[in-house]
Amino acid sequence: MKKQLAKALEISVETLNYWVISYALSSMTLVFRAEWPFVVFFASEVWLLGSYYEKITAVLNSRKWAVLVCALVFAAFVLFVSQVGLVQGSVAPFSKL
């Protein structure tokens, strides 16, 4: 029972971490959509999803369940972003702040 609770807690923490970082990266990707840093932020999002998958696979010891969890978490993230939206803004140089 304690082992299952520890796994659930670890998955919850990793999921929250994934959501927060992915939300920030998605917002920055939107800000830089017409600039070259777009590539960096988009690549970081892809890397983050792969890293999340590897961590979930290690916790669950099953690729099949890890794929299911990652798909559900990603779908929930997309639903959240579609309802709440992303942070939008413009890039301002530090000298003007």
How far apart are alpha carbons 53 and 66 in whole angstroms? 6
Domain span at residue 27?
A: 2-96
Per-residue pLDDT band for 1 (boundaries 50, 70, 90) equals: confident
Find all residues with CB under 8 Å of 97, minimum gap 6, and list them.
none
Whether 32 has a pLDDT exceeding 90, the answer reads: no
pLDDT tens per residue, range 51-89:
999 999 999 999 999 999 999 999 999 999 989 888 777
Count of domains in the chain?
A: 1
Closest by CA position to 91, among listed 44, 35, 23: 35
Structure pTM?
0.84
- Judged against a pLDDT cut of 70, whether residue 19 lies above it is answered with yes
